[in-house]
Amino acid sequence: MISNQWYVILESNEIKRGKPVGFTRMGEKMVGWRDSKGKATVMSDLCPHRGVALSVGKVINDCVQCPFHGFEFDTSGRCTLIPANGRSAPVPKAFQVKTYPTREAHGFVYIWWGEPRESYPELPWFDSLDDKIFSYNTLRDPWATHYSRAIENQLDVVHLPFIHYNSIGRGNRTVVNGPVWQLENKPGGSDILNVWVYNEVDSGQVGRSPKEMPAPTRRPFIQFRYPNIWHNWISDDLRIMVAFVPIDGENTLMYLRWYQCSVRIPIVRDIFNWLGRWGNLFIERQDRSVVVTQRPKPSGLKIGEKLIPGDGPIIEYRRRRAALQEANRGNGE
């Protein structure tokens, strides 16, 4: 993981009022719940009293209540009531649940994974995905692999004519020119990796290196924003967006969205979005069947792989990820 970053961990509609929900993210058991105003809170799913999961409790008095002995914890994780001691009894400060800074935007729940601070950087997103213009449909799919491997698959321009020979890789364009990539630095390390793809059919030519390619004059084909969101700019009216949500060291939950703004009539739009969702499932499952076999599970700069020029964006992803991890050593990483 890269610490001191905002991570997408859920869709907003997965946390409902009145009932806590438990889930695993970053290898930790967490609980999400909403207060009476609808504000989402994410905290450790562990009562500090006797180790019970708070997610099997309930929400009462704008607190999550432990089902075992009725201890109540507010949105800061502070225990406000120990029923056995009486409502007027002071609560020791030791009864504190680890709580994550939580924000919501674009239909997602983000948590800050790292050291608490007085002010936080902006939430990572793609400005061109205007929520007021685009509609979307979400596919959720678990992958039995480390989130870094799932990310790299979406930066891999070499695999298209092989895994996707009968879908998006039709045409047998096996020769990779470039690819061209640029790293766009953002405050707080939420950088954007922009990628341009120029694959061709093999007619006996040798693929050109990134240095031999002209400077890009169009928008990027692919964008990845650290630490865990990705954007495929298919056209101005059609996009694919993915959040790679780490469950633990060997499992990732993919939130794949089909965004479009060409069909806007409500019923027709919903049908079109639904069809797009299932088309994406077919393509995504082609990837999953292969990526889950990669070893070792996590990627890295020194894992023994023999890389080629077409792997350039993956190499850049690994370099920047390693640099961000190193920059945060001793600060929660």
Using a pLDDT cut of 70, give the percent of the chain over it: 99
Q: What six digits make up the tokens of 276?
A: 């797009």
Nearest to 7 by CA among 78, 105, 98, 77: 105
pLDDT band at residue 130 using 50, 70 and 90 as cut-offs: confident
Q: Give the SS3 label for residue 141.
A: strand
Instruction: Return the structure tokens found at 244.
Output: 């790679």
Neighbours of 331 (CB within 10 A): 10
pLDDT at position 330, please? 55
pLDDT at residue 282, rounded to an integer: 93
Using the predicted structure, report yes or no on whether residue 112 has a pLDDT greater than 50. Answer: yes
CA distance linking residue 268 with residue 103, whole number of Å? 32
Neighbours of 62 (CB within 10 A): 16
Q: Which two tokens stand for residue 70?
A: 């009725």
pTM, two decimals, is 0.94
Compute CA distances 268 → 32, 137, 258, 259, 273, whole Å: 34, 13, 15, 14, 9
- Predicted confidence (pLDDT) per residue in 259-279, tens digit: 999 998 999 999 999 888 888
Domains, the chain = 5-113 (2.102.10.10), 135-327 (3.90.380.10)
211 in helix, strand or coil?
helix
Name beta bridge partners: 257.
138, 241
pLDDT averaged over every residue in the chain: 94
3-state SS assignment for residue 209:
coil
Q: What torsion do the CA atoms of 168, 171, 173, 179 make, to the nearest 10 degrees? A: -40
pLDDT tens, residue by residue, 22-52: 999 999 999 999 999 999 999 999 999 999 9
What pLDDT does residue 224 have? 98
Structure tokens at 258: 């089909």
DSSP structure class, residue 122: P
Is residue 331's pLDDT more than 80?
A: no
pLDDT in tens, 48-104: 999 999 999 999 999 999 999 999 999 999 999 999 999 999 999 999 999 999 999
Tens digit of each residue's pLDDT (9 = 90 or more) over 159-209: 999 999 999 999 999 999 999 999 999 988 899 999 999 999 999 999 999
Please give the full DSSP string across 35-99, using - where no structure is assigned. Answer: -TT--EEEEES--TTT---GGGSEEETTEEEPTTT--EE-TTSBEEE-GGG-TTS---TT-B--E
DSSP 252-269: EEEEEEEEE-S--SHHHH
| pLDDT at site 189 | 85
Q: pLDDT grade, residue 332 (50/70/90)?
A: very low
Q: What is the pLDDT of residues 133-165, one digit of tens each?
A: 999 999 999 999 999 999 999 999 999 999 999
How many CB atoms neighbour CB 275 within 10 A?
12
